[in-house]
Structures are given as C-alpha cells and as structure tokens.
C-alpha cells in the first residue's frame, strides 16, 4: 500500500507535469500559470517526501528489521499523501481527468485511491489504534512489561510490580513537570525584572 501511494505521487509528477507543459490555455502552456505551478509544486514536494520515506523504509527492511509501528506510519502517510497528489493532479488536468478512455492516465489512480486508504484498516483506524496504541506500548518504559505480566495469567506479583512502576513513572513525570514549570516562572532573563 505505501508503494501504491509512492506510485500515485510519481505518476502525478511525471504525467501531470508533462501534461501541464503540453496543454495550452489562451495560447500559453498551463504550466506557466501560477495556480497550476502551485499544484505542481505540491505534487513535487509530496513525491519527494514519499520517495525518501520509501528509501528509508527499504533500508530498515534490508537490515532485517520488522517494525510494526513504522509500517503503520508508512501505510498511513504514503496513502494519504498519494491521495493529496492525485487530487492535485486532477485539479490540473481538469476535464481530461474525468473523461474515461485509453488516453486518461490519471482516472484509474483516482478511482483506486480510496481502496488503498480503506484496505487493511481505514487510515483513521490505523492512526488511532495502531500508530498511537502500538507506539505508546513500545515507547513507554513499563507498559509493555505490564501487558506481558497480564498475559502470563496468574502472575499477580509481576503485575503488581509493573503497576507500581507505571504509577511511579507517572508521579515522577508529574513532579518534574510542575517543578520545571514553576522554575521557569521565577527565572529572570536579562535586566528587565518588571516583565515578571
């Protein structure tokens, strides 16, 4: 699915960019019009982003890693950016993008975009459950251990120990937040004491 988003962005960059140079309105190529240039710049920036993300993720996979959260982020971001690039491309090609036929290079991409966004969980579901849920579980210093203690079944000692660690971590973060917030309020910056 991320590769589909990358392909959509690249298709828009090459196809829509070329179309804008060839298509003329008022005897001027539409690529020289500022509104069209804005759309082409957005498409080019998106293509650069998703191509860089694809290269980075391919390197991660080549190292033998299997990151679930990064994979979900790639699915979410590449399909969303592919949708934006496709919509920007449709804005540029206009009626030529709506008229179906063998010469229409963008309509199949436009039709398939919603499929890539909803397959394997809609992007809203991917974002809220997988990215945030898995990201929180994996990045928290004690939460994954707490979940493993729950999965062990009758391991009350392990559960209680991990629960104490989670609570202690939360209290420590709260104390640090309050103390640092108060410390910033009473620091004098420069000679202007009246500002505080």
Measured CA to CA in angstroms, residue 83 lies from 25, 47, 91, 102, 181 at distances of 26, 11, 12, 22, 42
pLDDT in tens, 18-70: 888 888 888 888 788 888 889 889 999 999 999 998 999 989 889 998 887 78
Burial category of 131 from C-beta neighbours within 10 Å (exposed 0-12, middle 13-18, buried 19 and up): buried
Mean per-residue pLDDT of the chain? 81
Instruction: Give me the catalytic one of 34, 65, 80, 120.
Output: 120
On the question of pLDDT at 189 being above 70, the answer is no
* Rounded mean pLDDT, 173-195: 77
Specify whether the CB–CB gap between 82 and 113 falls below 8 A: yes
Check residue 140 and give its pLDDT: 80
pLDDT in tens, 80-110: 888 888 888 887 888 777 777 787 787 777 7
**Does the active-site annotation cover 120?**
yes
**Strand runs labelled E in the chain:** 24-25, 28-29
pTM of the model: 0.63
């Amino acid at each position: 699915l991320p590769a589909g988003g990358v392909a959509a962005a690249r298709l828009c960059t090459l196809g829509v960019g070329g179309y804008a140079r060839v298509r003329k309105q008022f005897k001027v190529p539409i690529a020289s019009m500022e509104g069209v240039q804005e759309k082409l710049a957005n498409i080019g920036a998106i293509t650069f982003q998703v191509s860089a993300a694809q290269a980075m993720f391919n390197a991660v996979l080549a190292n033998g890693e299997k990151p679930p959260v990064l994979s979900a982020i790639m699915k979410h971001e590449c399909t969303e950016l592919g949708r934006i690039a496709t919509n920007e491309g449709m804005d540029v090609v206009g009626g030529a993008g709506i008229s179906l036929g063998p010469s229409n290079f963008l309509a199949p991409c436009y039709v398939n975009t919603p499929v890539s966004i909803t397959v394997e969980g809609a992007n809203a579901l991917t974002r809220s459950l997988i990215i945030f849920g898995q990201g929180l579980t994996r990045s928290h210093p004690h939460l994954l251990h707490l979940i493993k203690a729950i999965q062990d079944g009758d391991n009350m000692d392990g559960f209680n120990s991990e629960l104490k660690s989670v609570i202690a971590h939360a209290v420590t973060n709260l104390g640090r937040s309050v103390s640092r917030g108060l410390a910033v309020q009473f620091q004098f910056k420069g000679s202007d004491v009246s500002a505080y």
